[in-house]
Structure 1
Amino acid sequence: MFSPSQADVRRFLCGVHTKTQAGAPMEAIETLASLWIAEHPEYHADLSSADAAVARNYDETPGQTNPFLHLSMHLSISEQCSIDQPRGIRQAVELLTARLDSLHDAHHAAMDCLGEMLWESQRAGRPPDGQAYIACVQRRATKD
């Protein structure tokens, strides 16, 4: 299993941003990351220097989103949907996308569910509950 460090993730995303700006060729995962980076121009300054990104502690800035965590969650949800793991997440995100008329907004709503699932898992000392995650996304997809 691939388990990159925080520095690895930050260097990867900064590298993708650099390649995008240069029009350099990319691997498939880099292309996917570049699409999410393009959706978040507010993060481009954070992505401009890998060394600064690795050195920065986003926990010290309450109320500010960590762009690397945010973009990583977009990539995670994209990957989950591509392989439908946990089973049913693809359909739940598709339903949410249709309801919100935006894949980007659906991902942001799913991120709340993903974060909730991970927090609960850590709090309870149990493995993540994929079915609870899917149920949360489905509730958001059917909410009036």
Structure 2
Amino acid sequence: MSLKVQISDDMKAAMRAKDSARLSALRLLLAAIKQREVDDRIELDDAAVVAVVDKMLKQRRDSVAQYEAAQRFDLASAERFEIDVLTAYKPAGLSTEQITIIIDTAVATTGASTPADMGKLMAAIKPQLAGKADMTEVSRLVKSRLGN
């Protein structure tokens, strides 16, 4: 079963259960997927759907930070709920140790040694980690590795 079909089935289940908060989050996700399909005139595969989920998760995390800074904890709580719903559609991520191994391998391959080489190193790492790890965390690990 494709990820898009699973999301659609989960939306139908939320309708039957009258879970309006979950239903709203799933409708937003399906709308974003359909918008991407219309814009690009393609049928999204599971990897592209995960990319849409990642983008929405990043937006929600940014919103939580802004709401908390503005003392709007009710809105931050709603965004956290959406983060929980969206996270269910991401594949299992890599551990920090696995990410570190990939970074070390890329450092050896590219010869990166200074913070100025970060772009070259991230370009080598991104295809291996896209969708499997939070790239913000990867960037932090790369900075600490090249800063030493």
Relative to the length of structure 2, the TM-score reads 0.25
Q: Which has the higher helix share?
A: 2
Find the structure with the greater CA-based Rg: 2
Relative to the length of structure 1, the TM-score reads 0.26
